[in-house]
Amino acid sequence: MTFLKPGLILASSVLVISACGGGEPTTTPTAQNTVEKLEVTETSSGAAAPASAPEEEGANAFAALPEPYQTADYNRGRRTFKLCQSCHTLNEGGQNLVGPNLYGIFGREIGAVEGFTYSKAVQESDIVWTPEILAEWLESPRNFLPGNKMSFAGVRRPEDRTAVIAYIMAETGYSAE
Ligand code: HEC
């Protein structure tokens, strides 16, 4: 038997240690670790400190969106969505809570999630969701569509609205077509 491959040592170190009679599996992985470190250094070119990673992830998340959503603040959007998440899920096939699942909301008529019982006001409305209409709904749900049953005062600050809409677009498979 040839000496164990590094991957195998990492994956089953307990087994390896007992198989080697307690020997430390240090010799073989060393060369590979060095290569990996070199590669990381080359690609990151020193620009990306770990502290800025979440923001970069956010910038990428919004990159395919139209303005003003593309340049919205990802962290602000994620934070603002915390106001909604007790009532709404965003993932595909996610469950309805107090409010309906929001996956695929853009381009769809209001009140279209199967298995969710909407208010009469929503059932009788025929608006189609766009980011702009969602902004109006979120400014004041009650004023936008009187009689709806979303008990939520609204998102007051415009920059919070833009950011949370960008976040919902990115999370629910928004596409411009
Ligand atoms: C207290 C629970 C609650 C909160 C908080 C809440 N919603 Fe709702 N939402 C609802 C309910 C209930 C409905 C269904 C309204 C109706 O049928 O009249 C709804 C409907 C909606 C709809 C229309 C869905 C469809 O299928 O047409 C959207 C979009 C929406 N909410 C977005 C949001 C966003 C974004 C937030 C956070 C900023 C939020 N909601 C916060 C309960 C909530």
pLDDT digits (tens, 9 = 90+) for 29-71: 444 444 444 444 444 444 444 544 455 555 589 999 999 999 9
- Ligand 1 contacts CB of residue 138 (under 6 A): yes
C-alpha distance from residue 104 to each of 113, 175, 177 (Å): 10, 9, 13
* 32 CA from centroid of ligand 1 (Å): 51
Residue 154 CA to residue 136 CA, distance in Å, equals 10
- Nearest-CA neighbor of 176 among 59, 92, 64, 72? 64
Residue with tokens 């990151």, as numbered in its chain: 44
Q: 98: Cβ below 6 Å to ligand 1? A: yes
Which residue is closest in CA terms to ligand 1's atom 36?
84
CB 17 within 8 A of CB 25: yes
Rounded to the nearest angstrom, the distance between the alpha carbon of 97 and the centre of ligand 1 is 10
Residue 161 contacts residue 139 (beta carbons within 8 Å) = yes
Q: What percent of the chain has pLDDT over 90?
A: 63
Kindly state the average pLDDT of the residues 11-25: 43
Amino acid at 86: S
Q: Is the CB of 72 under 6 A from ligand 1?
A: no
Q: In the predicted model, what is the mean pLDDT of residues 114-119?
A: 97
Q: Is the CB of 97 under 6 A from ligand 1?
A: no
Kindly state if the Cβ of 119 falls inside 6 Å of ligand 1: yes
Looking at residue 176, what is its pLDDT?
A: 74
**Confidence (pLDDT) at 55:** 52
CA neighbor of 155 nearest in space, from 89, 79, 60: 79
Residue nearest to atom 6 of ligand 1 (CA): 84
Q: From the CA of 11, how far away is ligand 1's center (Å)?
A: 45
> What pLDDT is attached to residue 120?
98
Whether the CB-CB separation of 87 and 165 falls below 8 Å is answered with no
Q: Rounded mean pLDDT of 71-86?
A: 97
User: Which among 145, 146, 150, 134 is positioned nearest to 98, based on CA atoms?
Assistant: 150
pLDDT for res 173: 86
Asked if residue 113 has pLDDT above 80, the reply is: yes
- Residue 175: pLDDT band with limits 50, 70, 90: confident
pLDDT of residue 95: 97
How much is the average pLDDT of 72-88? 97
Q: What is the mean pLDDT of the chain?
A: 79
How remote is the C-alpha of 111 from its chain's centroid?
Answer: 23
- Who's near 151: CB < 8 A, 6+ residues apart? none
